[in-house]
Amino acid sequence: NAGVMQNPRHLVRRRGQEARLRCSPMKGHSHVYWYRQLPEEGLKFMVYLQKENIIDESGMPKERFSAEFPKEGPSILRIQQVVRGDSAAYFCASSPLARKNTGELFFGEGSRLTVL
Amino acid sequence: GENVEQHPSTLSVQEGDSAVIKCTYSDSASNYFPWYKQELGKGPQLIIDIRSNVGEKKDQRIAVTLNKTAKHFSLHITETQPEDSAVYFCAASPGYNQGGKLIFGQGTELSVKP
């Protein structure tokens, strides 16, 4: 059973460009969470999605950031007009529907965004 | 909302010694407390967790204790080995949770010297 798959693992963008980060949850998992980790800091919650629904986006910046989890395909975190402060590691996690209230999350290896 | 504080930020021990990492949380309704280990360049991996109806849980060299009254929980690693060197994060699942969301502490960088 493959784990949570994130790509790209590393992404370099210039200021003003767009970044798209993709996440495929573990097989059988229908809940996806995105977290951001700034250098030498902890993991900050961004957004929680189920298929075709955003459940909790309380950690998402109000502008330039969006997330989706379509019926088919991976979840995508999109950052428009990137700035240097967006440089971070972005982690995706998933959990299975049947245990959605346990809090046990399975993390991917992360996508490391560098903004020049 | 929930806030999780973690101490210390760095911890250095000799191989074979014990290591203790402590966390406090603010939301008394939080009911699930996992610990994650993150190695360099990797994603966090769950190593142990505890729920609010349990005071202590042990898995080989790793144990976690929970004090609901004081709203703090701790990770204990005994007989540390160099491969235990990593960053450890505590987390709490808020009581208002709509499902699965975790609030993380700031992390503890553990270094085990051979």
Contact A48 B98 (CB under 8 A): yes
Contact A55 B93 (CB under 8 A): no
**Which residue out of B42, B102, B109 would a mutagenesis test of the A interface target, given it has the greatest number of A Cβ atoms within 10 Å?**
B102
Q: What's the rounded Cα separation, in Å, for the pair A84 and B17?
A: 41
B100 touches chain A (CB under 8 A): yes
DSSP state of A63: S
Instruction: Give the number of other Cβ atoms within 10 Å of residue A61's Cβ.
Output: 13
DSSP state of B15: T
B44 touches chain A (CB under 8 A): yes
String of DSSP letters for chain B: ---EEEE-SEEEEETTS-EEEEEEES-TT--EEEEEEE-TTS--EEEEEEETT-SEEEETTEEEEEETTTTEEEEEE-S--GGG-EEEEEEEB-TT-SSS--EE---EEEEEE-
Residue closest to B26 by CA, chosen among B87, B88, B103, B97: B103
Burial (0-12, 13-18, 19+ Cβ within 10 Å), B29: exposed
**Which residue out of A105, A106, A109, A112 would a mutagenesis test of the B interface target, given it has the greatest number of B Cβ atoms within 10 Å?**
A105
Pick the residue from chain B with its C-alpha nearest to A101.
Answer: B99
How many Å is the Cα radius of gyration of chain A?
13
User: Does residue B98 register a pLDDT over 80?
Assistant: no
**Cβ contacts of B99 on chain A, cutoff 8 Å:** 31, 48, 55, 95, 100-101
B57 touches chain A (CB under 8 A): no
Contact A100 B46 (CB under 8 A): no
Q: Which helix (H) or strand (E) holds B9?
A: none
Along the 116 residues of chain A, how does pLDDT read in single tens digits?
Answer: 579 999 999 999 999 999 999 999 998 888 899 999 987 778 999 999 998 899 889 999 999 999 999 999 999 999 999 999 999 999 999 987 655 556 678 999 999 999 99
User: Does residue B92 register a pLDDT over 70?
Assistant: yes
Under the banding of pLDDT at 50, 70 and 90, the label for residue B49 is very high
| Backbone phi, psi, residue B83, to 5° | -70, -5
**Cβ contacts of A95 on chain B, cutoff 8 Å:** 99-100
